[in-house]
Amino acid sequence: METGVQSNSFTYMGRSFCGLSIHDGSSSAFSDCNSDRSGEFPTASSQSRRLLIACASSENNNNSSSDELIRQLVSDLNSPSPEDQKQAALELRLLAKNKPENRIKIAEAGAIRPLIDIISSSTDSQLHEYGVTAILNLSLCDENKEVMAAAGAIKPLIRALKVGNPAAKENAACALLRLSQVDSNKAAIGRSGAIPPLVNLLENGNFRGKKDASTALYSLCSVKDNKVRAVQAGIMKPLVELMADFQSNMVDKSAFVLSLLVSVAEARAALVDEGGIPVLVEIVEVGTQRQKEIAVAILLQLCEDGLSYRTMVAREGAIPPLVALSQTGTSRAKQKAEMLIGLLRQPRSGNAAAAAATATARASSDVSVA
């Protein structure tokens, strides 16, 4: 439930604001990495929050006064006082969250460099979190993504994944996701060491952290080298465990990440080692329609790789649920189930027709997020 906070009138930087109100809701997890959580600011800053929302959204405040406020806040990021820095970072994150135009203004005012400095070195947990989250909110603007990467934001965000508080880790994962939407940044993020702490967040984070980590990993693992890094970091164990737990609400996201990874041999071997085949067969049997579609596509890619994998899949009793899926699944799932059944029923020696069928299956076996 949300509760309104009213203020009749107050003054800040020589300007008067009247009749402003906001709503303080309880913090809720976000899964789309769009911006930071709402309702998490201390009561003591409620007046400042009303001011920032007014500056961010009120049509009555002119651009010059908003620009003046932004410049002052950016200046405060360089203050020798940690409290001034903390308040400035908090207010800038709110400005960037509530009005897209402010994301460009804040960046142009020079906020990116001091925010990077804060998240690079701050030992104050709250200041560090505010800095990370301000970077996240600024990264929602496409124009800022390359500027942030060029300014050196990647490594400090990876540091936040390792040493930040839970909220900082989650928001750092989301910020890296946003930066990875520039294709040239994907490899750089992987080379800089982001994959292992993201895998750790996937395995050990809370529900929101797991979702944010899986989304970032899905983006980064479109690059082959990052797929290998993910396998080497031990991603297969948490992926298989999350897919096996139908109460985790992580089956789909984990399976989508796996669908990217199995294109490399290291991932296929790790999947088998972690007991992934029976988990995938179970999904084909009892999962949702989308989960079945992803699982059959993964099994198809696995069985294209060799006879030994086909034998393992068949021994897990995959053919009956695959036959059922070929009759009742989505059109895509039906097609892949039929291809996989054909592979599983081939003689051990194989033949030219089987090779042709496998080539056809490979050409159409990519999985994409719905």
282: phi then psi, degrees, rounded to nearest 5:
-65, -40
Q: What is the pLDDT along the chain (370 residues), one digit of tens a residue?
A: 333 333 344 343 444 433 333 233 333 322 456 656 533 444 334 455 545 555 554 544 556 778 899 999 999 999 999 999 999 999 999 999 988 899 999 999 999 999 999 999 999 999 999 999 999 999 999 999 999 999 999 999 999 999 999 999 999 999 999 999 999 999 999 999 999 999 999 999 999 999 999 999 999 999 999 999 999 999 999 999 999 999 999 999 999 999 999 999 999 999 999 999 999 999 999 999 999 999 999 999 999 988 999 999 999 999 999 999 999 999 999 999 999 999 999 876 544 444 445 544 444 444 444 3
Residue type, 126: Q
CA 345 to mean position of chain CA atoms: 39
CA distance 263 to 251: 19
Q: Where are the domains of the chain?
A: 68-188, 235-347
pLDDT the model gives residue 48: 53
Give exposure, 99-118, as e/b (b: 16+ Cβ within 10 Å).
Answer: beebbebbbebebbbbbbbb
CA 207 to mean position of chain CA atoms: 12
CB atoms inside a 10 Å sphere around CB 246 = 15
CA distance 230 to 228: 5
pLDDT the model gives residue 66: 82
23: phi then psi, degrees, rounded to nearest 5:
-120, 130
pLDDT the model gives residue 191: 97
148: phi then psi, degrees, rounded to nearest 5:
-65, -45
Do the Cβ atoms of 262 and 271 come closer than 8 Å? yes
CA distance 277 to 281: 6
Residues in the chain: 370
Alpha-carbon distances of 350 from 160, 310, 335, 355, 361, rounded to whole Å: 51, 12, 21, 8, 15
Supply the angle between the helices 195-204 and 154-163 in degrees, to the nearest 10: 30
pLDDT the model gives residue 120: 97
Token code pair at residue 129: 């979190």
Residue type, 357: A
pLDDT the model gives residue 23: 35
Residues whose CB falls within 8 Å of the CB of residue 320, separated by 6 or more in sequence, listed in order: none
CATH fold of the domain at 68-188: Leucine-rich Repeat Variant (1.25.10)
Do the Cβ atoms of 148 and 180 come closer than 8 Å? no
Instruction: Render 85-123 in DSSP notation, one character per residue.
Output: HHHHHHHHHHHHHH-HHHHHHHHHTT-HHHHHHHHHH--
Residues whose CB falls within 8 Å of the CB of residue 78, separated by 6 or more in sequence, listed in order: 85, 114
Residues whose CB falls within 8 Å of the CB of residue 240, separated by 6 or more in sequence, listed in order: 271, 274, 275, 276, 279
Do the Cβ atoms of 197 and 158 come closer than 8 Å? yes
Domains 68-188 and 235-347 agree in fold: yes
Instruction: Render 287-320 in DSSP notation, one character per residue.
Output: S-HHHHHHHHHHHHHHHHT-HHHHHHHHHTT-HH
Do the Cβ atoms of 52 and 91 come closer than 8 Å? yes
CA distance 232 to 235: 8
Greatest alpha-carbon span in the chain: 84
Q: Which residue has the tokens 């060491």?
A: 193
Q: What is the dihedral of CA 162, 163, 166, 168, to 10 degrees?
A: -90
* CATH architecture of the domain covering 235-347: Alpha Horseshoe (1.25)
